[in-house]
Structures are given as C-alpha cells and as structure tokens.
Structure 1
C-alpha cells in the first residue's frame, strides 16, 4: 500500500508557514513530508526560498514525520562534502527520519556563483560522483577522493546518524532513471510514468521505493483555484528543458506569459471534487509508486487539510 505525504513548497511559503503546514499534515493523517531545496523561487510572485537545512532542523522539532528533500542538487551550489555533512546532521536531528533526495538541479539555483551550467549528460556524471562521495563520508570514515569533478582531502564526518541516510535519486528521463537504479536507495520522479518506474527497477532499483507527487489547489470555487495556480505556479507547464536551463525568476516570468488559464485548468487538480483529487493521487500508486506527495497551492491550507483528512485520504486507503 502506498504512503501519502505532504509537499512543503519552500518557494511559496515562509518558514513559519511551512512549520504550520508540517504540523497540520501530521494531524491530518499524512505519513511523511517532502520539502523543496531552492535558492530562488521560480517566480517573484511565489516570493520565498528559505535555506532547506535550517528548515529540516526546525521540522525535526515540530513533527515526527519522515522528511525527504525534493530535491537537493549536490553538485554545484554546495560541494558534495558539504552536502554530506548537512545530510548527516539532518539524519541525527530527525532521529533517522531524514531521506536525502538528490538530482541534477536547475540553472535557476545553481548558477549563482558564476559556475558554467553543464550539459545534461555532464550533470548526470557529476551527480553519480557526488553520490559516491556522500555515501563514503556518511560512514564516518576519513575520505580522500580525487575524481573527474571533485576533490576531497582528509575529510571525516564526526556527527553521523546510527543508520545510513537513504539517498533517493531524482530523474525525469530513462538515463536518469537508470542512474537512480544503479546508485540510489530509491527513485524520485514527478509524473505517474510506469515506464520510468520500470526503467528504474530493471536498472538495479528492484523493490527500492519510488517517490513522487503533484500539486493541487483545493478550493470551494474551482475558477478561483485555477486563477491561483495560474498566478503562482504557471512554471509547471513550461515545456522541455526550460525548467533546467532558464537562469532567473525573471526569465521564468517571461516564459510563463505563454501559459494560459485553460492549460492550468486542464492540467491541475483544482476545486473540491473528491473523485478528481483521489483519481489524480491514486494514478501514482497505480504506476508503481510507494510514496505519493501532495502539495496545496495558495493560502487555503486549512481547508485542504480538512478535505484530505475527511475525504481524500480515507478513500485512497480504502482503495
């Protein structure tokens, strides 16, 4: 049976709001939490981007739910050795309830130090080397590494959790799914694509967990919910690799002018139809996902949690 989690969108909400949502998610009966790791929001309208490692420490104090990053790019903005220390401490402060979701990232967040943004194949290569470094450091042993992309010299983590932090590798195409199967403890992808899940499992993933999810906009007035999504998250509908290569919120705002409200209405679960919400979430379980995360867009958070606690989660679990 799939587990159902809540997605904390750090691009849209303040630290205090994210903590309130985490508490509400646990009270509503969600099983787990995921949180995004961004330096910038996608657009200025979203307007937030707290530091994820500070948020994980705070989450550990207000909820007992497991927390996964959705996802951290451990290759450019922070060196893998620094990410390893952050993940190890997160594992300790959460009592082994932290899972490290990693991916190849977006220029939006990773170009900020002036580094060249690599091509997709190079980013996958860097991610594989980064995962190797992080795993070695999480053992608590001294590590020296001289690879194609990274150097680590006489590094040792002295604060490590009792259990190894699981590393879940994100991907949206067959190459990334195969990498996740080869080097990951799990796979993260955001569409209910059974073919990608199969690629992961055939490439070494076996019965390891597959995680993913969607954003919705609960609201009594469906038209108003559509407008909220169009205002806050039109970037979900940008095609191809734009999400990986555009460098600033201003560029995403420019590209998002091409996204219509009709596209949002067709592509997002909006309103208060329990059948529509349940179908969209259960599509992930049907595609072979083990954990499905749902994020509520906009300010109607308490209404969303009441709706999912009373209507959607019971229906999903009964099915």
Structure 2
C-alpha cells in the first residue's frame, strides 16, 4: 500500500470534482487552475460513457497545474484492455510523478452493454484486472490466462519510477470488500458518513490499510451552506479524502471552494481534539 491517501484519524484531503456531464472538456484547464490556486489538494475526474475520457482529461489537468493531485474515478475495466491502461497510467505517472490517482471499477452496466463490452461476471473481471494491472505497473513481466484477462509475456518498457496507487470502487458489498483486499483506496460515490462508517468497518475487519475517498454530491451538502456539516461528518466517520461535486448551476465556485476549505479545517480540529 502507498501513503497517497491521508491516514485515518488525520484531517482529510479535500478536492473538487469536474463533472463531465455538466461542463465541456474545454472548461477543464481553467477549472483545474482554480482548484490548484485555491489550495485544495485534489482534482477528481470521471470517465463516464459517453462524456469524456478520464485519462485524456487527467493529462490535460496535470499539464496545466504543478501541485495538485489528479484522481480518475473510475476507469471502466470492461471497456479498457488492461495492457493499454497500464501503458497510459505509466506514461502519466512518469511525466507527473506522485500526482496521479487512478481508479478502476465495473463501469455502469447499461453503458457497458451499449458499448458491446458487458461481461457475465464483472467481479471476476475486476479481480483479474486489478491483479494484472498492479503487476504491470510494478514492472513485472505478466503472463496470465484468466477468464477475461489474457496476457502473454507483457512487460512495460517504461513502468512508473515510483509506486503508483491503485484505487477501486463500486456500490455493492462484494465489490467494496474486493476493493479493500486489492486497492490502496476505496472510492465511495455516494452515501455520506453512513457509507464511510460501513466501509471503515470492513477495512477494520479485514485488516486493510486502504484509504476511503468519499464523493459528496449536490443533494448531500455539496453547497456553500451544507459543506461544513457534510465534510465534518464524513471525516469523523473515517474518510481520508473527500471530494465535492458542484451543482451544474453552481454560481459561485470560488465561494464553494472557500466553504470546503473552511469545513476541512474544522473537521481536522474536530478529529485531533
């Protein structure tokens, strides 16, 4: 496991999400600079079908900033060959060391069916994919003949120069338990403090040291008056990283960011005291 996510019990790292359904890709460079200049820790991106490419957006955001970490939640495994994903992640990791937070998941099953990529056992694919991806990113030569992942003596010519974290996420209990087993961080798209508490219980039960990344949407307090309560509650429950998803019609992004920063400071004081 890497230390890319904040330790449980410490003040959570805070971020803002660029929602691809609400903003076109040409808005991303200015959005990323706003996050960087604000003092937040992380810009989070989605790879949603059929909106925007997560890794193309990650490359753009990384190139246009110098400090913030850029997370992608989540790359859909049925849609992406694992060798190609490893190549792309390794390239970005070498160009921008220590700043990329890639995540993988099942993908939305209806979208996977639309793209002709839906599989009979998403759990089997996710396990095979995560194991192979980790090995490839570690610079190993990988030969595997799984149900879905099949590689013959594949080794990256330019693997990451330092360990690259792997995040996983989903909604079902089996997926979250698999994420606890195999990932450095577990991504929770929704559910607030209650979902974080349940996930913390799974991590404690299994002895996993994975971090917990929580997304807070507009309906859960991702607004100027609601940010403080939502972030403080999630931090108390054990979230190590929290990202706020602005409403599509949010009129005051700088004000929302300031509210998030203030809430994070309060949450940190609450935890340490």
Report the TM-score when normalising by structure 2: 0.85
Contact 1:139 1:160 in 2 (8 A): yes
Contact 2:70 2:101 in 1 (8 A): yes
Paired with 1:157 and 1:107, the residues of 2 have a C-alpha distance of 30
Q: Choose 1 or 2 for highest CA Rg.
A: 1
Higher relative contact order structure (alpha carbons within 8 Å, sequence separation ≥ 6): 2
Q: Which runs of 5+ in 2 are unaligned?
A: 1-10, 268-273
Q: CA deviation at 1:105?
A: 1.3
> 5 Å matches for 1:64-213?
64-74=67-77, 76-118=78-120, 122-190=121-189, 191=191, 192=193, 193=195, 194-206=197-209, 208-213=210-215
Contact 2:44 2:72 in 1 (8 A): yes
Query: Which residue does 2:247 correspond to in 1?
Result: 297
Residues paired across the two proteins, number? 252
**Cα distance change on mapping 1:105 and 1:116 into 2, 3 Å:** closer
Query: Which residue does 1:39 correspond to in 2?
Result: 49
1:25-74 CA deviation, whole Å, 9 max, x = no partner? 1222211111101222xxxxxxxx22222111111111221111111122
Q: Which runs of 4+ in 1 moved over 3 A?
A: 267-272
Contact 2:137 2:159 in 1 (8 A): yes
Q: CA deviation at 1:272?
A: 4.2
Q: Which runs of 5+ in 1 are unaligned?
A: 41-48, 217-266
**Cα distance change on mapping 1:280 and 1:186 into 2, 3 Å:** same
Find out whether 1:19 has 2:29 as its counterpart: yes
Paired with 1:6 and 1:17, the residues of 2 have a C-alpha distance of 14
> 5 Å matches for 1:243-282?
267-269=219-221, 272-273=224-225, 276-282=226-232
1:95-149 CA deviation, whole Å, 9 max, x = no partner? 221122111111243224424443xxx2112101100110111122322111122
**Cα distance change on mapping 1:314 and 1:269 into 2, 3 Å:** closer
Aligned Cα root-mean-square deviation (Å): 2.0
Report the TM-score when normalising by structure 1: 0.73
Find out whether 1:55 has 2:57 as its counterpart: yes
**Cα distance change on mapping 1:197 and 1:173 into 2, 3 Å:** farther
Paired with 1:96 and 1:116, the residues of 2 have a C-alpha distance of 33
Q: CA deviation at 1:93?
A: 2.2
Paired with 2:165 and 2:254, the residues of 1 have a C-alpha distance of 28
1:248-268 CA deviation, whole Å, 9 max, x = no partner? xxxxxxxxxxxxxxxxxxx44
1:70-93 CA deviation, whole Å, 9 max, x = no partner? 11122x111112111122112122
